[in-house]
Amino acid sequence: MTSSLYLGIALDGAGWHPSAWREPDARPADLFHLDYWVALVRAAEAAGIDLVTIEDSFGLQSSGFGGIDPRRDEVRGRLDALLLATSIAPHTSTIGLVPTITTTHTEPFHVATGVQTLDYVSEGRAGWRVQVSGRAHEAAHVGRRTLPALDPALVVLGADPAQTALIEDLFGEARDTVEVARRLWDSWEDDAVIRDVETGRFVDRDKLHYIDFEGDRFTVKGPSITPRPPQGQPLVYALAHQKVPYELAVAGADIVGVTPHDDAHLEAILGQLETAAHDVSRGADEPLRVWTEISVLIAETADAAQATLARLNATHGEPWTSDTLILADTAEAVATQLLHWHKLGIDGVRLRPARLPEDLSAITESVVPLLRSAGVLDRPDGVATLRARLGFGRPESRYATPADADARGTATADTEGDPAADSTFELDLTGSIR
């Protein structure tokens, strides 16, 4: 049997090309309306796409990696991705919803309960794309700290110690935030709510757990205010380009998104991930899945796709650049590339449509059928959650260890005949259960 290739669509504004909003099918005036997003996600859902991600940032977009630019001719502004995803949830039924949430300026407790709530509203389809914010102007929105300007070229080279230290700090904080979220998601055992009329107790407090997280940047006591969500652990996705984020992904993500430009690059990345897996202990139950990210502009012919890209670039004023491979080609070429990388060990792909809705339509109408006939899109029947759809299990809460229950039983037996030493008896008293 052919192994599954999983498909995600990365939604952002009118598409990933900066000039896409001026295309005939684009709806730039509707970018801040729920209807626009529901239509896109429903189209993806109808085609059997596994998940959508929704981009976000802690400030206005800019064309470079630095601060605010004065451009008024490109899409600026975004809705809060978590809230947008939660509003989309009741309008959809099977597709995974994975908003981007930054860890740099947000409260880990709010982030964790927000994703938990998305999981409740979507009935088990929530994920979280973890993102850091390294931009100095975004730090000024909170005033908690000042950040030096990041130069992506220097960062990737690892050449500048100050830049490397900043990256390590940002991703260290992200790692702590993911750890806090995962502990909070587990902090209610699944059977914590007991509604026991006899003893008057709604909840069994022995099944609620303090998480007692203490890190360099924050401490979080717990437990969550929200019961354990349908998936137990909502899906965590991390886009990564170098050693430090690879280590974050190994430590806390379910899926890492990588950006190879060719086979050799992919091989090198997989090697780096393997190194990271040796260096860092894994904080999730199952092996890390590797997805590639590719930007796509699709047309009937390769020439037509290239011509469209050239036209969009002319409007933009310079060639569109991306951290990913940009494929301006036919649906066949895109499908061939995906299947090729799937053979090299890739579990899934997050496609970034250059234009919305046009390239999303091309994916659902042309690329998906090709992949389907290649037999890589079969999904198990009757799966209800995003984790199950992607072949992940539903993990037990880390705090629900059967060994604990055994230990309690043993302790009770040992102290039989000595009620003063019986911890169960003491607990009953302090809980005013009489």
Contact 37, 82 (CB under 8 A): no
Residue range at the interface with other proteins (CB under 8 A); choices 107-115, 160-168, 237-245, 286-294: 107-115
Stretch that binds other proteins, among 269-277, 284-292, 327-335, 423-431 (CB under 8 A): 423-431
Residues 242-281 contacting other proteins, CB under 8 A: none
Report in angstroms how near the CB of residue 122 gets to other proteins at its nearest. 8
What's the CA gap between 5 and 340, in Å, rounded?
Answer: 11
Cα–Cα distance between 299 and 289 in angstroms, integer?
30
- In the block, tokens 């935030």 appear at 177
- Could you say which residues in the range 110-129 bind other proteins, by CB under 8 A? 110, 113-114, 116-118, 120-121, 123
Q: Which amino acid is at 172?
A: G
Q: Which of residues 292-321 bind other proteins (CB under 8 A)?
A: 315
Convert residues 135-164 into a mask of x (bound to other proteins by CB under 8 A) and - (unbound): --xx-xxxxx--------------------
Of residues 161 through 190, those in contact with other proteins by CB under 8 A are 188
Q: How far apart are CA 374 and CA 143, in angstroms?
A: 52
Looking at residues 39 to 58 of the shown chain, list those that interact with other proteins (rule: CB under 8 A): 57-58
Q: Which is nearer to other proteins, 14 or 255 (CB)?
A: 14
Decide if 178 contacts 252 (C-beta within 8 A): yes
Interface with other proteins by CB under 8 A: which range of 27-35, 164-172, 340-348, 418-426? 27-35
What does the block give as tokens for 390? 């992607």
Per CB under 8 A, which of residues 210..239 are in contact with other proteins?
Answer: 217-223, 225-227
Binding flag, residue 15, other proteins (CB under 8 A): no
Q: Which of residues 57-96 bind other proteins (CB under 8 A)?
A: 57-60, 68, 72-80, 82-84, 86-91
Output the six-digit token pair for 377: 């899109």
Token couple for 419: 């009620």
The tokens of 405 are what?
């229950």
Cα 55 from Cα 425, distance rounded (Å):
52
My answer on whether omega of the bond before 353 falls inside 30° of 0, hence cis, is: no
Q: Which is nearer to other proteins, 153 or 427 (CB)?
A: 427
Q: How far apart are CA 31 and CA 196, in angstroms?
A: 48
Region 374-403 residues binding other proteins, contact defined as CB under 8 A: none
